[in-house]
Amino acid sequence: MQAENRFQQQWNNYISISAESGVRTRKLTQWLISWGVSIQGLVYALVVMIGAPLVIEGEMTTGAIVAASLLSSRMIAPMTTLCGVLARWQQVKAAKEGLDSIMQLLVENSRDESKVHCAVLYGHYQFRGAAFRYHSEESAIALKIAQLEIHPGERVALLGRNGAGKSTLLQAMVGGMELVEGELRLDNLSLAHIDMADVRRNVALMTQHARLFFGTLPDNLTLGAPRANDAEIFAALDVCGAAVFVKKLALGLDHPVMEGGIGLSGGQRQSILLARMLLRDPNIVLLDEPTAFLDEHTEREFIQRLAGWLSGRTLVVATHRVAVLELVERVIVLQEGQLVMDAPKAQALSTVRDRNRPQEGKNEKPSA
């Protein structure tokens, strides 16, 4: 990308601003302290200058001038300390403003709100006149769902062009979107009223932007399942087709992972991310392009193994890959942030083919 110069300049600017601010603060602090010390010395000198002639003339004793000089120094000393306190107060004031801005940010669970705790969530989703937008008052409506119901144990595919709203719908199903109007219920409870800790426990969302973190393979795989043992880890890796390449690594499970998964191929990263999701053992699985980086052979094996693992679980998957549709029995088509089709898989695919045939006929050139 050749963006090194740009980010280097930004970094230098931030460092320069921070350094200049620190220098100005230190200068102000030193100036105030020096000013206080100077005043203290000046007062002492004035006492001596005024008192010495009086002592010579006999109008004041030597003890009196010594006492006056000591008392003047003691009186001015708090002023010197006060200058340092004022300088510190400026730093405290800036820190307080920063903390106040942080404390005013939105929190997941407000103290004034009482959330509903659910022992288990099964995946009964109900949308009624629901409209969603991103968490910003200025953002436009990103998704509108007039009527949609997904039953526990159903396997549903989300289809549509890029930007149709598939990823947005998945985000809304985990509470990641702001509900502007209408209703979104999960297991007959408003999603907004369910404790998000319970949602995260039973709902697993793997987005297109899921990341690996610096550490070892187990460090990444067990983020959501800290008690998982090696056998469970390899079982999850086997479902995702990653067990073979992990066993070939020199360090096996102890193989180091760089930030973002640097050093691993796109398919290897995606396999590990899928295994991390499987280890959580969720009841509701939301996948966004889960096989985008997998080769056809690995994708086919993954789909076959995942089909058995999904038994009794609710699946909603957004995809452009035809092979992934083997996992589902129902298809939802989105277009420009709205639901335009909801039908069984065979009926939906037949309808899509029928719609595409006239367009294909127009594009065909007549034979000579």
Q: Supply the range of the domain harboring residue 311.
A: 125-356
Answer for the pair 216, 271: CB distance below 8 angstroms, yes or no: no
- The mean-pLDDT minimum among 136-150, 183-197, 222-236, 343-357 falls in 343-357
Q: In the predicted model, what is the mean pLDDT of residues 205-209?
A: 92
- Say whether both 135 and 66 belong to one domain: no
User: What integer pLDDT is reported at residue 278 of this predicted model?
Assistant: 94
The answer to whether position 263 is within a domain reads yes
The residues, ordered by sequence, that sit 6+ positions from 328 with a Cβ below 8 Å of its Cβ are 155, 156, 157, 315, 317, 345
- What is the band of 78 on the pLDDT scale with cuts at 50, 70, 90? confident
- Say whether both 256 and 164 belong to one domain: yes
Per-residue pLDDT at 77 exceeds 50: yes
- Say whether both 132 and 76 belong to one domain: no
**Residue 312 burial (C-beta neighbours within 10 Å; 0-12, 13-18, 19+):** exposed
User: What integer pLDDT is reported at residue 353 of this predicted model?
Assistant: 76
Q: CA angle, corner 221, sides to 293 and 204, nearest 5?
A: 75
Alpha-carbon gap, residue 349 to 212, rounded angstroms: 35
- Say whether both 260 and 147 belong to one domain: yes
| Cα-Cα-Cα-Cα dihedral sign, residues 163, 296, 259, 204 | positive
- Say whether both 143 and 95 belong to one domain: no
Alpha-carbon gap, residue 257 to 52, rounded angstroms: 79
- Say whether both 282 and 250 belong to one domain: yes
- Say whether both 266 and 340 belong to one domain: yes
The residues, ordered by sequence, that sit 6+ positions from 230 with a Cβ below 8 Å of its Cβ are 218, 253
The answer to whether position 112 is within a domain reads no
User: What integer pLDDT is reported at residue 133 of this predicted model?
Assistant: 92
| Helix, strand or coil, per DSSP, at residue 93 | helix
**AA letter at 208:** Q
- List the CATH number of the domain containing 296: 3.40.50.300
- What is the band of 367 on the pLDDT scale with cuts at 50, 70, 90? very low
- Say whether both 99 and 130 belong to one domain: no
- Say whether both 45 and 169 belong to one domain: no
The helix (run of H) or strand (run of E) holding residue 275 is: helix 266-279
Q: For residue range 247-270, list pLDDT tens digits in order.
A: 999 898 999 999 998 989 999 999
Strands 256-257 and 125-133: unpaired
Q: In total, how many domains does the chain have? A: 2
Q: For residue range 2-29, list pLDDT tens digits in order.
A: 677 888 888 999 999 988 888 887 887 7
The answer to whether position 108 is within a domain reads no
Query: Residue 89 — φ and ψ, nearest 5°?
Result: -60, -35
What does pLDDT average to over the chain? 87
User: What integer pLDDT is reported at residue 157 of this predicted model?
Assistant: 96
- What is the band of 361 on the pLDDT scale with cuts at 50, 70, 90? low
- Say whether both 160 and 44 belong to one domain: no
| Helix, strand or coil, per DSSP, at residue 172 | helix
- Say whether both 219 and 295 belong to one domain: yes
The answer to whether position 341 is within a domain reads yes
Query: Residue 339 — φ and ψ, nearest 5°?
Result: -80, 120
Q: Count of CB atoms within 10 A of residue 263's CB?
A: 11
The answer to whether position 244 is within a domain reads yes
**Residue 98 burial (C-beta neighbours within 10 Å; 0-12, 13-18, 19+):** exposed
The answer to whether position 43 is within a domain reads yes
CA distances to 167, 293, 295, 323, 333 from 312, rounded to whole Å, are 24, 27, 27, 21, 24
User: What integer pLDDT is reported at residue 313 of this predicted model?
Assistant: 95
Radius of gyration of the chain (CA): 34
The helix (run of H) or strand (run of E) holding residue 188 is: none
Percentage of the chain with pLDDT > 90? 50
More confident residue, 355 or 249: 249
Strands 284-288 and 203-206: parallel
- Say whether both 98 and 133 belong to one domain: no
The answer to whether position 365 is within a domain reads no
* Two tokens, residue 137: 């008052």
The answer to whether position 118 is within a domain reads no
Q: Which of 71, 103, 135 is the last residue of a domain?
A: 103
